[in-house]
Every structure is written in C-alpha cells, then in structure tokens.
C-alpha cells in the first residue's frame, strides 16, 4: 500500500527537480527579474496547490474505486483529477509572471506543457504504480503513451491469446 504513494511523491519531486532549471531559464529569458529562490518557491507552491486539490478529490476517486473494476475508467478519472490540480498550479506560476512583470507571459504556458509531459513520463518511468511487479522499477524503456496503450490493450490481448 505504501509503494504507490511513495512512487508518486518521488515522481513529482523528480519532475520538479528536472524542470526547475528550465523554468528559471524561461523566467530569465522572458525578462522577469526573479531569483532562483523565488522561482523555486513558486514552483513548490504550485505543486503543493495541485497536491492539495488531489487530496480534496480523494473521496471522489474512492467512491468510484468502490463501484467499478474498470482500470481504463479509473485511470482516466485519476488523469482528469490530476489535470485539474496541475492546471491550478500552472495558473499560480503564470500569476507569478504577471505579478513580476505586469503582463501575461506565454512562454510560461510553453514551460507548463513541458512540465506536464515530464510528469506524465515519470509515471511510466516509475511504473508499475499500482500493479504487482517482480522489480521495484521497470527494466524496459517506454514512452508514456505507449505504456498506457499497452496497459489498456493488455487484458484484451491476453484474453485473445487464451481463446486462440
């Protein structure tokens, strides 16, 4: 039970550490005068806001987990809830850009896309999050979309093999 939350927390922390230098560079190139300490604080506040929203959505996820066995639906539900949380966090980063410069910063939206892709890839890098495994970390490399499609097609493909 502790492995899934630990992997998610580790993945989030690694995503933040991987993307912090590029956020700082984007901030500097955008003409925003901010220290690394300020940018780090805003990034951690954004991730904290997203985490707080996910905690608030936990009862919603729980009720569906008790009423369905569909892995695809539960995965999609969790992805939607995560997207809501991360969008509020990214809006906080955008607000930092507006506060420090007085204008909107489209380059921070581009960085947000990069951050989201890194977070999604981290779910594949640290897989399996929920499923049982012989190893703590995977031994093969995959892009997150390929992993998701393999996960969705896995039960159907296995069923087809047994029928043949």
- The per-residue pLDDT for range 57-72, each reduced to its tens digit, is 888 888 888 888 877 7
Flag whether pLDDT at 103 surpasses 70.
no
Comparing 5 with 51, which gets the higher pLDDT? 51
C-alpha distances (whole Å) from 151 to each of 13, 75, 127, 148 are 25, 10, 11, 5
The fraction of the chain above a pLDDT of 90, given in percent, is: 13
pTM of the model: 0.74
Comparing 154 with 78, which gets the higher pLDDT? 78
Distance (Å, whole) CA 31 – CA 163: 62
- Sole residue written with tokens 């979309």: 145
Comparing 123 with 91, which gets the higher pLDDT? 91
Give the pLDDT score at 37: 92
pLDDT tens-digit map of 65-95? 888 887 778 778 888 888 898 899 889 888 8
Give the pLDDT score at 123: 80
The answer to whether 48 and 39 have CB atoms below 8 angstroms apart is no
Comparing 128 with 20, which gets the higher pLDDT? 20
**Can you list the alpha helix ranges (DSSP code H) found in 1-143?**
3-29, 36-67, 71-101, 106-125
Give the pLDDT score at 114: 92
């Amino acid at each position: 039970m502790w492995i899934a939350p630990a992997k998610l927390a580790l993945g989030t922390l690694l995503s933040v550490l991987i993307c912090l230098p590029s956020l700082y560079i984007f901030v500097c190139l955008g003409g925003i005068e901010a220290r690394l300490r300020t940018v780090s604080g805003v990034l951690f506040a954004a991730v904290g806001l997203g985490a707080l929203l996910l905690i608030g959505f936990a009862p919603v996820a729980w009720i569906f987990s008790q009423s369905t066995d569909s892995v695809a639906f539960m995965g999609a539900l969790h992805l939607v809830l995560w997207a809501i949380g991360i969008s509020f966090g990214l809006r906080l980063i955008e607000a930092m850009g507006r506060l420090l410069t007085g204008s909107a910063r489209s380059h921070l939206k581009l960085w947000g896309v990069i951050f989201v892709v890194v977070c999604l890839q981290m779910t594949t890098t640290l897989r399996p999050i929920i499923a049982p495994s012989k190893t703590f970390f995977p031994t093969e490399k995959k892009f997150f979309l390929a992993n998701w499609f393999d996960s969705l097609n896995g039960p159907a493909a296995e069923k087809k093999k047994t029928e043949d």
